[in-house]
């Protein structure tokens, strides 16, 4: 209670109760606290960068990043397949089921024949097996020709579907996909970068994909589309979603330790929703306090694959409490300050912390300066 009063008095915050566990004595803040009159309607810029609830200008209410809903594809679909969310997916399913039917027919037929013959013609004492031919050319030719014809038909149907899968319409909406160990990044034409794939319903979407390191593969089971993503080369894929919802996307080419964690969501927006999302997302990010921006980027840009915030050591050091510490690095002792963090983002192998491998990729050209500022602030606030 005392701490709350102190905070209130010292920072001039509106009278919101402190969140549970969030009591921070004023002394811990890295910025000097500024005194302001209580109840001031137009506060000066709050000094605490870690405070996500810092007062905002009256004409610019804070926008939150629109949430991504829960998956809608779990449990949906038939016994064999997830729900087919495009015409091409339905074609795939049709062919799959046709082959399944033929396969079950053949397998059951052969099983019945084997079991029946093994029983009917079992060895019995004194019983002589009847005479039978050792070959029958007509039979051979028949059971060669019929499967061949079936195979040709299956091939042609599969080929047609494949051609469709690889022929995007000219007016498709284009999104760039970047795959890296172990995160997908989706870059939209307006510059927005998202960790999930947002697409409008009923419109063809083309993805132009590349990898930053090893082979990955982009797979959305609900659309039955998959394409390997290769370093230093662009591969393409397209689809047109029929039903709004949230669908799972996986990496389908083994790419190392966290291959199975490298997944994202495909958010199919109802009509109008996509445009709205893009506008809201971009706006929210521009308005976001640096610490929230850093927290968002920590997850969205894949830092969380290698750095924890709770002290656990992963591929990279944990961010918890490191700001202000002095670490041994490959280039001598270094104090973890704003400059070191910025350098580590842009040139990660310059000063590698002792005990860790120089495997961090550079984010040069991928993070705007404001975004780097946000990450620095976020790290600063991780006590």
Partner 1 sequence: MATAATTIDSSGAPPEPSYLTVKRGFRNWIVTLDHKRIGVMYLIGITTSFLLGGVFALLVRTELFFPGSQIVNEAQYNQLFTLHGAIMVFLVIIPGLPAALGNFSLPIVLGAPDVAFPRLNLFSFYLWCTGAALMLLSLIVNAADTGWTFYTPYSTTTGTAVVPAVAGAFVLGFSSIFTGLNFIVTIHKFKPKGMGWFQMPLNLWGIYSTALLQVLATPVLGITLLLLLVERIGRIGIFDPALGGDPVLFQHFFWFYSHPAVYIMILPAMAVMSDLITTFSHKHIFGYRFIAYSSVGLAALSFLVWGHHMFVSGQSKLASMVFSALTFTVAIPSAIKVFNWVATLYKADITLKTPMLYALSFILLFTIGGLTGIFLGALNVDVHLHDSYFVVAHFHYVMMGSALIAFLGALHYWWPKMFGRMFNERVGQVCAVLVFIGFNTTFLPQFVMGARGMARRYFDYDPEFTRFHQVSTIGAFLMGITLVVSFGNLIYSLFRGRRAPRNPWGGTTLEWQAPSPPPLYNFYAHEQPVLYPIYDYSDLYYDEKEGGWLRRADAKPEDEAYEP
Partner 2 sequence: MSSAAHDEGAHAGHGHAESPFIQHHFDDGAHQFESGKLGIWLFLGQEVLFFSALFVAYIIYRHNHPEIFEYAHRYLDVRLGAINTGVLILSSLSAAWAVRAAQLNQRRALIFCLAVTLLCAFGFLGIKYVEYAAKIHHHTLFGKRFAPHEAPDGTEIEQPDGNPGKDAKGQPTAKEPLNTVGGVKAQPIEGSKGPPPGTAPVVPGDPSASKEEPASAQAGVGVLPAIEAQKAAGAKIDTESSARPPPNTGMFFTIYFLMTGLHGVHVLAGVFVFIWLLWRASKGHFGPRYYGPVDFAALYWHLVDLIWIFLFPLLYLIA
Site for partner 2 in 183-212 (CB under 8 A): 187-191, 208, 210-212
Contacts 24+ apart (CB under 8 A), 62-67: 62/287, 63/280, 63/283, 63/284, 63/287, 64/284, 65/280, 65/281, 65/284, 65/285, 65/288, 65/296, 66/277, 66/280, 66/281, 66/284
Q: Does 79 bind partner 1 (CB under 8 A)?
A: yes
Nearer to partner 1, 251 or 268 (CB): 251
Dig out the tokens for 106 from the structure. Answer: 């053949």
Q: Does 263 bind partner 2 (CB under 8 A)?
A: no
Q: Does 362 bind partner 2 (CB under 8 A)?
A: yes
Segment contacting partner 1 by CB under 8 A, of 35-43, 185-193, 258-266, 364-372: 258-266
Smallest separation (angstroms) from partner 1 to the CB of 190: 28
Q: Does 278 bind partner 1 (CB under 8 A)?
A: no
Single out the residue of 176, 198, 192, 303 nearest to residue 249, CA to CA: 198
**Which of the residues 24 through 53 are near partner 1 (CB under 8 A)?**
none
**What DSSP designation does 203 have?**
S
Residue 174 near which of partner 1, partner 2, none (CB within 5-8 Å, type-dependent): partner 2
Q: Does 346 bind partner 2 (CB under 8 A)?
A: no
Q: Does 121 bind partner 1 (CB under 8 A)?
A: yes
Using CB under 8 A as the binding criterion, the count of chain residues that bind partner 2 stands at: 28
User: Tokens 């009847």 appear where?
Assistant: 130
Q: Does 99 bind partner 1 (CB under 8 A)?
A: yes
Smallest separation (angstroms) from partner 2 to the CB of 91: 27
Distance of CA 244 to the CA centre of its chain: 18
Using alpha carbons, list the distances in angstroms from residue 299 to 296, 313, 364, 378: 6, 17, 18, 12
Q: What is the C-alpha to C-alpha distance for residues 229 and 216, in angstroms, rounded to an integer? A: 5
Q: Does 349 bind partner 1 (CB under 8 A)?
A: no
Residue 88 near which of partner 1, partner 2, none (CB within 5-8 Å, type-dependent): partner 1
Segment contacting partner 2 by CB under 8 A, of 21-29, 111-119, 121-129, 353-361: 353-361
**What DSSP designation does 202 have?**
T
Segment contacting partner 1 by CB under 8 A, of 4-12, 38-46, 122-130, 276-284: 122-130
- Select from 102, 214, 246, 284 the one that contacts partner 2 (CB under 8 A): 214
Nearer to partner 1, 162 or 335 (CB): 162
Phi–psi pair at 265, nearest 5 degrees: -120, 145
Contact residues for 251 (Cβ-Cβ < 8 A; gap 6+): 179, 182, 184, 216, 217, 218, 219, 259, 262, 263
**Which of the residues 221 through 250 are near partner 1 (CB under 8 A)?**
221-222, 224-228, 230-233, 235, 248, 250
User: Tokens 């042609």 appear where?
Assistant: 156
Nearer to partner 1, 22 or 117 (CB): 117
Q: Does 259 bind partner 1 (CB under 8 A)?
A: yes
Bridging pattern class, strands 183-187 and 193-194: antiparallel
The 11-50 contact track toward partner 2, x by CB under 8 A, reads ----------------------------------------
Q: Does 140 bind partner 1 (CB under 8 A)?
A: yes
- Select from 145, 152, 349, 383 the one that contacts partner 2 (CB under 8 A): 349
Read out DSSP for 135-180?
--HHHHHHHHHHHHHHHHHHHHHHHHHHHHHT---TTPEEEEEEEE
Cβ(290)–Cβ(49) below 8 Å: yes
The helix (H) or strand (E) run that includes residue 111 is helix 87-120
Q: Does 159 bind partner 1 (CB under 8 A)?
A: yes
Neighbours of 189 (CB within 10 A): 10
The footprint of partner 2 (CB under 8 A) covers: 174-176, 187-191, 208, 210-214, 230-234, 349, 357-359, 361-362, 364-366
């Amino acid at each position: 209670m005392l701490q709350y009063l102190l905070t209130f008095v010292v920072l001039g915050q509106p009278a919101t109760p402190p969140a549970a566990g969030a009591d921070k004595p004023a002394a811990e803040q890295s910025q000097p606290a500024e005194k302001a009159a209580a109840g001031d309607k137009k506060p000066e810029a709050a000094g605490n960068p870690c405070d996500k609830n810092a007062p905002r200008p009256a004409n610019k209410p804070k926008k939150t990043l629109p949430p991504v809903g829960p998956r809608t594809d779990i449990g949906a679909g038939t016994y064999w397949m997830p729900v087919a969310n495009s015409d091409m997916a339905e074609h795939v399913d049709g062919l799959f089921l046709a082959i399944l039917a033929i396969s079950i027919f053949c397998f059951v037929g052969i099983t019945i024949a084997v079991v029946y013959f093994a029983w009917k013609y079992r060895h019995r004492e004194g019983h002589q097996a009847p005479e039978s031919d050792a070959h029958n050319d007509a039979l051979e030719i028949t059971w060669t020709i019929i499967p061949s014809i079936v195979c040709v038909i299956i091939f042609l149907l599969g080929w047609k579907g494949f051609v469709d899968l690889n022929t995007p319409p000219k007016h498709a909406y284009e999104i760039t996909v970047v795959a890296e160990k172990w995160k997908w990044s989706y870059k939209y034409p307006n510059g927005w970068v998202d960790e999930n794939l947002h697409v409008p319903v009923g419109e063809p979407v083309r993805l132009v994909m590349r990898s930053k390191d090893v082979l990955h593969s982009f797979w959305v089971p609900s659309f039955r589309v998959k394409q390997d993503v290769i370093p230093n080369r662009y591969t393409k894929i397209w689809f047109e979603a029929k039903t709004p919802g949230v669908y799972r996307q996986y990496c389908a080419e083994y790419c190392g330790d966290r291959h199975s964690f490298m997944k994202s969501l495909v958010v199919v927006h109802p009509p109008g929703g996509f445009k709205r999302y893009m506008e809201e997302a971009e706006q929210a990010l521009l308005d976001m306090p640096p610490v929230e921006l850093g927290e968002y980027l920590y997850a969205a840009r894949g830092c969380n694959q290698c750095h924890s915030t709770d002290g656990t050591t992963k591929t990279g050091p944990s961010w918890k409490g490191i700001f202000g510490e002095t670490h041994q690095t490959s280039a001598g002792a270094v104090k973890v300050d704003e400059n070191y963090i910025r350098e580590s983002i842009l040139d990660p192998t310059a000063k590698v912390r002792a005990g860790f491998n120089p495997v961090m990729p550079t984010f040069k050209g991928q993070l705007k300066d404001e975004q780097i500022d946000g990450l620095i602030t976020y790290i600063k606030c991780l006590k």
